[in-house]
Structure 1
Amino acid sequence: MVLKRGLQMLFALEDSLIIETVVIPCERGRNTVCISSQVGCAMNCQFCYTGRMGLKRHLSTAEIVEQAVLARRLLSSEVGPISNVVFMGMGEPLHNTENVIRAADILVDEQGLHFSPRKVTISTSGLVPQLKRFLRQSNCALAVSLNATTDEVRNWIMPINRKYNLKLLLGTLKEELSMKHNYKVFFEYVMLAGINDSVEDAKRLIDLVDGIPCKINLITFNPHSGSLFRPTKEETMVEFRNILAEAGCVVFLRLSRGDDQMAACGQLGKPGDIRAPLLRVPSQFRAALQEASL
């Protein structure tokens, strides 16, 4: 069963679990469907509402592909043709590697949905072995959720970093991309006020991505119930962007869409009675979070 709510679709699966899919319209006619790969998520990123659910289960290949099929069928008449697919809904796509790679193959196949591989983007929080497999098996685009410039901060807000730290993650990307022709990775950087948005962060980010063919997306944080964080002010985001651009980085500001309906990045899902734990806040950031709670 599918419930359509504006440009958001709720899918009731055979086991009665719910997933969410969102269509993101663009003024230039490049409409994007944001699809889920899991029910919930095991990564427990501290800024993400979906992560509060914990992981219920992986989606099958068919359940993943069906989201794009029905988005085209039900929403194209409202927004126009859907040209892009991003695996940035519920779940960590590369935690469900087998089904996600199969689904991506169907999305780009001439006998499938025939999207351009460059317009199908798989997102990951940084599962290094699965990331290597994806880059070797697929020509679809890759987006890496970076969100911090030090291991201390990333260990806190993205616990996967405790297993695959920045040096390992970025070193792997540099090595793998050296073997791919004309391929750039997207770095996603959700900006959290007082946490990862300083001038020093911008300078460190320049150093971290040096030598990696990439584009950087600076993303507005979307607040949600129980959130510890607050979004960086737009003028601070612009200053951060300008520092990166002046250093030669290809960088874009991605302002929020869908946050008024809890349909934006990091807002999908509904936590159950048992929630993933909030982690201990490093002492130097407690003041910033106290400001967010006022």
Structure 2
Amino acid sequence: MPATGGAMLSSIHDDVAVESLRKRLALDPHRVRRLRNRLCKLQGSDEEALSELPTAARKAFADEILLHELTLDQRFDSQVDGASKLLFRTSDDLLLESVILRVATGRTALCISSQIGCAANCDFCATGKMGIARSLSAPQILDQVVQANQMLKPEGRKVRNIVFMGMGEPFHNVAAVNETLSKLVSPLGFDQSPRRTLVSTVGLPAAMVEFARKFPGVNLALSLHSAIQSRREEIIPLAAKYDLTELRAALQQVAEISQQSIMIEYLMLRGVNDGPQDRAALAEYLRGLPVHINLIPYNRVEAAPHLEGTAKEEREAFGAALRAEGFTVTIRYSLGADVDAACGQLVRRENRRIAAAAAQ
């Protein structure tokens, strides 16, 4: 986004640019630190954050430093369960999504995106049907957190849990995700608890192990969805590149490094992965690993009309059988169905609307 005179603005999350400007303006470093704290930790408004600077320096700072990389395009609030779908627009006019989840326990979670589109092309996912447009920068990922917290402040809420479960495969954007995580968990950044932060992947073994080494305190979730290789490849085409044997070896390494449970996400698809054979394969595959299995209901997406979710009673029976074998199992419920909370649905819909309007 150009500044006055054609120069490019730098992000508030760009440490080098901010420090360079601080020195040039002869600002007290504590003032800049308080500005960042106000924005990143205290849910302050832009005006409140800038008020930490001397009056004479505010305009010069605002002329060169961008507090937000994204513009809120639309907000959709569920009338059913308290979820809010946020549609953001980048400076180059691309759309991405985040979801605020107000859980019944009172906790607030934020599901963030790391890419616009996704190359994994999972059969059940609206984002995957978009293909890949591009990866997001660390400031663009972080701004989803900043803006969500600013929206939540009037409610007396704050983002407690951050999950990388939005648009994109995080390990296809490793550099930006690593930078984001470093700033999120740093006491000088967002001071987010690593234990309340989770990165979800469809399963890139080498990247999973490297992630565990860099961020042993941050939780990892694996979108497994089947422990039968041929079926998993039908659901997740990328699985053909990384088979279940290689993936299990990576899970074992991650467990040894992180010394904590690994979240296993299992989307329940009627007639696809919810039969007795599927359950037995899953139990055998995960036996001996410290895992927490999440059984997830399927939100139907327009791009995959051939898929249906498993009935609630059958999901519960599937979970009960796994518990009987000694596994920790949570049967999830869906949030935000009335606001298209499945990632990618809103972007696909809005892109079609924009294209149709342009064609008129």
TM-score by length of 1: 0.89
**Which has a greater percent of helix?**
2
1:5 counterpart residue number? 76
Amino acid at match of 1:254: R
Could you list the per-position Cα deviations for residues 64-91 of structure 1 after superposition, in whole angstroms to 9, with x for gaps in the alignment?
0110111011134337222000000100
TM-score by length of 2: 0.73
Instruction: Give, in angstroms, the shift of residue 186 of structure 1.
Output: 0.2
8 Å Cα contact 1:37/1:96 also seen in 2:
yes
1:46 counterpart residue number? 123
1:25 counterpart residue number? 102
1:251 counterpart residue number? 329
> In structure 2, how many angstroms separate the alpha carbons of the residues matched to 1:266 and 1:120?
22
Could you list the per-position Cα deviations for residues 170-202 of structure 1 after superposition, in whole angstroms to 9, with x for gaps in the alignment?
111113322333x11100000000000012211
1:140 counterpart residue number? 218
Instruction: Give, in angstroms, the shift of residue 107 of structure 1.
Output: 1.1
8 Å Cα contact 2:270/2:309 also seen in 1:
yes
Larger radius of gyration: 2
| Change beyond 3 A, Cα 1:147–1:52 | same
1:192 counterpart residue number? 269
Amino acid at match of 1:230: E
1:168 counterpart residue number? 246
Structure 1 residue 159 corresponds to structure 2 residue 230: no
**SS at the partner of 2:221?**
strand
> In structure 2, how many angstroms separate the alpha carbons of the residues matched to 1:180 and 1:241?
26
**SS at the partner of 2:347?**
coil
8 Å Cα contact 2:206/2:250 also seen in 1:
no
| Superposition pairs of residues 203-222 of structure 1, within 5 angstroms | 203-222=280-299
Instruction: Give, in angstroms, the shift of residue 226 of structure 1.
Output: 3.2
> In structure 1, how many angstroms separate the alpha carbons of the residues matched to 2:202 and 2:158?
29
| Change beyond 3 A, Cα 1:195–1:59 | same
> In structure 2, how many angstroms separate the alpha carbons of the residues matched to 1:117 and 1:143?
14
| Superposition pairs of residues 29-178 of structure 1, within 5 angstroms | 29-78=106-155, 80-138=157-215, 139-178=217-256
Q: CA RMSD in A?
A: 1.5
| Change beyond 3 A, Cα 1:62–1:167 | same
| Change beyond 3 A, Cα 1:180–1:172 | same
**SS at the partner of 1:143?**
strand
**Relative contact order higher in (CA < 8 Å, ≥ 6 apart):** 1
> In structure 1, how many angstroms separate the alpha carbons of the residues matched to 2:312 and 2:238?
28
> In structure 1, how many angstroms separate the alpha carbons of the residues matched to 2:308 and 2:153?
34
> In structure 2, how many angstroms separate the alpha carbons of the residues matched to 1:82 and 1:65?
13
> In structure 2, how many angstroms separate the alpha carbons of the residues matched to 1:190 and 1:268?
20
- Name the count of aligned residue pairs: 272
> In structure 2, how many angstroms separate the alpha carbons of the residues matched to 1:243 and 1:75?
39
Could you list the per-position Cα deviations for residues 26-73 of structure 1 after superposition, in whole angstroms to 9, with x for gaps in the alignment?
121211000000000000000101100000000000000110111011
Amino acid at match of 1:219: I
2:22 counterpart residue number? none
8 Å Cα contact 2:117/2:167 also seen in 1:
yes
| Change beyond 3 A, Cα 1:265–1:18 | closer
After superposing the two structures, state which structure 1 stretch, 129-138 or 260-269, moved more. 260-269
> In structure 2, how many angstroms separate the alpha carbons of the residues matched to 1:202 and 1:77?
45
> In structure 2, how many angstroms separate the alpha carbons of the residues matched to 1:76 and 1:187?
32
| Change beyond 3 A, Cα 1:248–1:84 | same
Q: What's the % identity of the aligned pairs? A: 37
Structure 1 residue 270 corresponds to structure 2 residue 348: yes
> In structure 2, how many angstroms separate the alpha carbons of the residues matched to 1:204 and 1:79?
45
